[in-house]
């Protein structure tokens, strides 16, 4: 179940990155001061101005899935879940607030050159937040693998100590009974 949740989170993050990457050519044109804004204005009008309900509903659905997964993992998890998934949940929430308060009002109401530059810079912040989520989930995976490896090494060390104790106990019992210890090396000649 753990692997499925991580896969869904990474797929949602990659999907949202893909949606934002679609806007890259218009965003890049807005960051360049010499580029004309007519192309970006037409692009944003066609994508976000005409169909904001469909576009927004897809983003809200994907963000809600991510929030539900992070919330469930925080509630039923360990300290690592609280740290990594809590930070990821914060990034998803901050991204949603940024989108709802900064991008959508501009995309629907006013579309000036400064407003389009705000949309482009907000998209850059969303890129970084989504990459942060992917980095946090990767760090959590590495942390869990390291913890599991350390636990297995500890179990191995305990088993090795116990085997040595049993071997020593068998030798001591053999010495006390006066029997010869079995030789594990080459046969000794007298």
pLDDT in tens, 81-126: 888 888 999 999 999 898 888 877 766 666 676 777 788 888 889 9
In this predicted structure, what is the pLDDT of residue 183? 55
Phi, psi angles (nearest 5°) of residue 109: -85, -60
Supply the DSSP symbol for 77. S
Supply the DSSP symbol for 178. T
| Band (37; pLDDT cuts 50, 70, 90) | low
Q: For residue 155, give every residue at least 6 positions away whose Cβ sits within 8 Å of its Cβ, in sequence order, or none.
A: none
Judge whether 41 and 99 are in contact, CB under 8 Å: no
Is it the case that residue 171 has pLDDT exceeding 60?
yes
Could you report the per-residue pLDDT of 115-170, keeping only the tens digit for each?
A: 777 888 888 899 999 999 999 988 888 888 888 899 999 999 999 999 999 999 88
How far is the first Cα of the chain from the last one, in angstroms, to the nearest whole number? 65
Q: Tell me the C-alpha distance between 128 and 40, whole Å.
A: 22
Q: Tell me the C-alpha distance between 189 and 100, whole Å.
A: 88
**What is the average per-residue pLDDT within 33-42?**
64
In this predicted structure, what is the pLDDT of residue 128? 93
* DSSP, residue by residue, 87-127: HHHHHHHHHHHHIIIIIHHHHHT---HHHHHHHHHHHHHHH
Is it the case that residue 180 has pLDDT exceeding 90?
no
What SS3 state is found at 184?
A: coil
Q: Tell me the C-alpha distance between 88 and 77, whole Å.
A: 14
Could you report the per-residue pLDDT of 1-11, keeping only the tens digit for each?
A: 577 888 888 89
In this predicted structure, what is the pLDDT of residue 184? 56
Kindly report which listed range (17-26, 54-63, 125-134, 139-148) carries the lowest average pLDDT score.
Answer: 17-26
Widest CA span of the chain, in angstroms? 103
pTM: 0.72
Judge whether 89 and 70 are in contact, CB under 8 Å: yes
Phi, psi angles (nearest 5°) of residue 183: -95, 130
Residue 143: which region, alpha, beta or left (left: phi > 0; alpha: psi -120 to 50)?
A: alpha
């Amino acid at each position: 179940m753990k692997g499925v949740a991580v896969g869904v989170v990474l797929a949602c993050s990659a999907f949202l990155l893909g949606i934002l990457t679609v806007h890259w050519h218009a965003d890049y044109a807005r960051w360049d001061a010499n580029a004309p804004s007519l192309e970006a204005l037409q692009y944003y009008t066609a994508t976000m101005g005409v169909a904001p309900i469909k576009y927004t509903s897809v983003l809200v659905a994907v963000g809600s899935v991510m929030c539900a997964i992070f919330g469930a993992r925080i509630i039923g998890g360990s300290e690592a879940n609280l740290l990594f998934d809590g930070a990821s949940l914060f990034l998803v929430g901050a991204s949603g607030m940024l989108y709802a308060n900064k991008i959508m009002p501009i995309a629907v109401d006013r579309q000036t050159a400064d407003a389009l530059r705000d949309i482009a810079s907000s998209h850059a912040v969303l890129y970084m937040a989504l990459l942060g989520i992917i980095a946090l989930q990767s760090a959590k995976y590495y942390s869990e693998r390291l913890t599991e490896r350390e636990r297995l090494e500890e179990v191995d060390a305990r088993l090795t100590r116990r085997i040595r104790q049993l071997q020593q106990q068998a030798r001591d019992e053999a010495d006390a009974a006066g029997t010869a210890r079995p030789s594990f090396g080459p046969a000794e000649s007298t």
